[in-house]
Structure 1
Amino acid sequence: MGPVLYIVLGGFRTNSQITADPSGLPAPWVLSNYTEVLASATFWRSMASSTVTALGTTAGVVALGLMASYVLARYRFAGRGALYALFAAGLMFPVTVAITPLYLLVRGLGLTNSLLGVILPQIAFALPTTIIILVPFLRAIPAEIEEAASIDGASRLGFFFRMVLPLSLPGVVTTGILAFIGSWNGYMLPLFILNDPNLFTLPLGVQNFSSQYSVDTARVLAFTSLSMLPALVFFSLFERRIVGGLSGAVKG
């Protein structure tokens, strides 16, 4: 919490206060740094880009991850174990290693300098974690429930939407939150894909803002703390669901 508190409190100080006593408290408290950042169009453009990217990534991860996990957990077919192992191996494949071929692929698809070019790779790199968490949830659903639903006339899709989705909701919420926070804090991929400052997400917006106002340390700290705030609030509100979802995955 030390760096977080330093950044937040530093936004309430002046540059002279920070220079005179870097670790001191605001005396007096200054609100102008935060109000000026909130009044700037740069901050809100970056906020909008991060929101669109994070929501798009979360929706794609949850939808594709749930469907793939359902097949891996409930269907028996040749190569199922190998396919599950392939997704598990994806946990050991960081985006940093693949950034150059990934950039070439995105450029070949004509998606550079667009939010879609960030969303699609983020979905792909978040799928391994999603599948590892969701497969135990779906395997734990008793086969008798599926048999009873089939006798009552439910189709495979009907069973999926009416039974599987509600029963696996803790895992779905957990994976959705992890995907949202991972996308919100993503820096490497947007750095390579986005060139237009109007499309910068908040991590890139912080870097760009700090470059423009390098001598105004207090305002940079205010911009940084406001950029962190949505992810911190989001994580704090859903912390119990994350822990509960991961616990359920381990038990499954």
Structure 2
Amino acid sequence: MLDFWNGTESLPVYGYMIRATIVYVYIFLIVKVLGQRTMTSIDPLDFIFGVVIGDILGEPLTDGELPLAGPVGAAAMTATLHLSLSYIALKAPRFRRVIEDEPIILMKHGEILYKELRKSKITLEAFLMDLRLNSASDLSEIDYAILEMNGQISVIKKSSYESVTLKDMQKDVKSKGYPSVLIEDGKIVHANVKKVGTIDWLRGEIQKQGFANPEEIFLMTADESGQTFISPKKD
């Protein structure tokens, strides 16, 4: 009856399916408990956690003889240790330096610090590629280049090469805010429409753009300034 949990040499297909469901839900709950930081900021500690959890819970999905209780318990212990270390790091700045690397300055005042590149084991070619990915191919425009703790390189340009903003031009512009989806795949999202207007207002906006009904629209959004965006549905 509980072969899917205890394991057996001839575990049936439905047993593997039950195990996969249990493991998926279990990992989902672990990620929810740990929070979004685990997924959005992959530092070395998070990477180790992901590899270990995957190895622990992955083996019982392919080996039907292994009982499921042991891996589930080991995964819970690993998640508890990871959560504890993350919590201690938040409360104790000195301990934080043990588990989280400090940012490394690779370029300062337009000068490449080759010793820091060697220390970080980053080749010049890889460094230049990262700069290009940051839209900073012209080295003369760069003030600082920093290797962040998640392994990505951030770039701070010299003030004279920063983009001119409307504030710099002393112009006042209403904030656009967060755009709301009003129509998705031809269907009106009524909850979002109520935030910016009415159904009659929506139909009026659609007609202004040359559409007869919402079914002709794949996506329509509106921001807080009243500006709308429409992408038509095409075959």
Identify the TM-score tier after normalising by the shorter chain. Answer: under 0.3
Choose between structure 1 and 2: higher helix proportion: 1
TM-score normalised according to structure 1 size? 0.21
* Greater Cα radius of gyration, structure 1 or 2: 2
Choose between structure 1 and 2: higher strand proportion: 2
TM-score normalised according to structure 2 size? 0.23
